[in-house]
């Protein structure tokens, strides 16, 4: 998400407009998506809060869990998003700058509503939509946010993002092993085999590029996963 539209790039670069967030969100919910993750990727860079009104419009159309992130800097920001209809709040850059934010969000909203999004390149965490090095190892940061009360980790491999060449299984396995929290693998999904492989090391897998291009792909993907022996609802 950027400037009120759904966008997607490759390795966080070259964001392309792929649609209207309210319509796409409703289409995914109706098509049987298990969860919707909405990340306002420009919020931190543009030094503004997430688009609360847009979150509210999307929530109105969903019957599935809804995670919202981008520009969350305080427990108050988190509360506003939940009040607008989000079920979980994703935090990234602001937590890297001030890790206590994870603790504050967890105590205010409950751990189950706090997703820490980690963007990693070659195992190292980057912040501000991938533009800034942090010097932290993804595995260490995951352990720290777990200790601080995070409820889930959304782990995006910048190396794999948008490539459709498969998830970064090495990174995902390393983080998943380091924590007892559920880990959502993100970045690189190209086909059902990739998703099935991600389920081998993570508890959930996020899809973006291949669905934005063709939302109907979700239904066929579920069938293919079932054939591969992956339990889907």
Partner 1 sequence: MRVAICEYGAGNVRSVEIAFRRLGAELTDRVEDADLAVLPGVGSARAALAGLVARGHDTALRRRFAAGRPILGICLGLQLALEETEEDGGVQGLGLLPGRSVRLREGRVPRMGWAEVDGRGTFYFAHSYAAETPCATAWSEGVVAEVRSGSFFGCQFHPEKSGELGARYLEEALSLSLA
The region of 59-67, 94-102, 210-218, 219-227 touching partner 1 under the rule CB under 8 A is 59-67
- Shortest spacing between CB 110 and partner 1, in angstroms: 4
- Verify binding: residue 220, partner 1, rule CB under 8 A: no
Q: Which of 26, 73, 24 is nearest to 48 (CA)?
A: 73
- Rounded CA-CA distance 21/58 in Å is 7
**Per-residue x/- marks for partner 1, 178-207, CB under 8 A?**
--xxx--------------------xx---
Residues 112-171 that bind partner 1 (CB under 8 A): 112-113, 151-152
Is position 173 an interface residue for partner 1 (rule: CB under 8 A)?
Answer: no
Instruction: Decide whether 103 or 132 has the Cβ nearer to partner 1.
Output: 103
For every residue of 103-172, DSSP letters joined together read HHHHHHH-GGGEEEEEEEETTEEEETTTTEEEEEEHHHHHHHHHHTT--EEEEEETTTTTT-S---HHHH
Out of 48, 76, 107, 191, name the contact with partner 1 by CB under 8 A: 107
Considering the complex, what minimum distance in angstroms separates the CB of residue 115 from partner 1? 9
Closest CB to partner 1 among residues 24, 158: 24
Q: Nearest distance from residue 112's CB to partner 1, in Å?
A: 4
Q: How many residues touch partner 1 (CB under 8 A)?
A: 30
CA distance 206 to 184: 7
- Using CB under 8 A as the binding rule, whether residue 77 contacts partner 1 is answered as no
Q: Are 52 and 80 in contact (CB under 8 A)?
A: yes
DSSP 3-state of 68: strand
| Listed ranges 6-14, 61-69, 91-99, 215-223: which one lies at the site for partner 1 (CB under 8 A) | 61-69
80 binds partner 1 (CB under 8 A): no
Q: Can you tell me the distance from the alpha carbon of 213 to that of 139, in angstroms, rounded to the nearest whole number?
A: 32
Q: Which is nearer to partner 1, 126 or 148 (CB)?
A: 148
Residue 141: CB minimum distance to partner 1, A: 18
Which residues, including other chains, have CB under 8 Å from residue 2's CB and lie 6 or more apart? Answer: 15, 40, 41, 42
CB-based contacts of 152, cutoff 8 Å, min separation 6: 88, 114, 115, 116, 181, 182, 183, 184
Q: Which residues bind partner 1 (CB under 8 A)?
A: 29, 32, 34, 59-60, 62-66, 82-85, 87-88, 107, 109-113, 151-152, 180-182, 203-204, 233
């Amino acid at each position: 998400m950027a400037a009120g539209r759904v966008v997607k790039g490759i390795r966080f670069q070259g964001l392309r407009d792929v649609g209207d967030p309210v319509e796409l969100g409703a289409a995914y919910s109706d098509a049987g998506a298990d969860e919707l993750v909405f990340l306002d990727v420009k919020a931190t860079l543009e030094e503004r809060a997430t688009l609360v009104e847009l979150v509210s419009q999307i929530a109105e159309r969903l019957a599935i869990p809804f995670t919202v992130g981008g520009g969350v800097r305080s427990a108050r920001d988190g509360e506003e998003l939940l009040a607008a209809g989000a079920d979980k709040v994703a935090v990234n850059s602001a937590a890297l700058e001030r890790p206590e934010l994870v603790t504050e969000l967890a105590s205010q909203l409950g751990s189950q509503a706090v997703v820490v999004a980690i963007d990693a390149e070659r195992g190292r965490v980057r912040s501000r939509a991938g533009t800034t090095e942090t010097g932290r190892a993804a595995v260490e940061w995951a352990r720290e946010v777990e200790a601080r009360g995070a409820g889930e980790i959304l782990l995006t491999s910048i190396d794999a993002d948008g490539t459709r060449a498969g998830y970064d299984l090495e990174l995902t396995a390393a983080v998943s092993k380091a924590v007892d929290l559920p880990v959502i693998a993100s970045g690189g999904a190209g086909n059902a085999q990739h998703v099935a492989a991600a389920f081998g090391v993570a508890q959930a897998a996020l899809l973006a590029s291949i669905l934005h291009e063709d939302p109907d792909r979700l239904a066929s993907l579920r069938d293919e996963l079932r054939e591969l022996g992956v339990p889907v609802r």
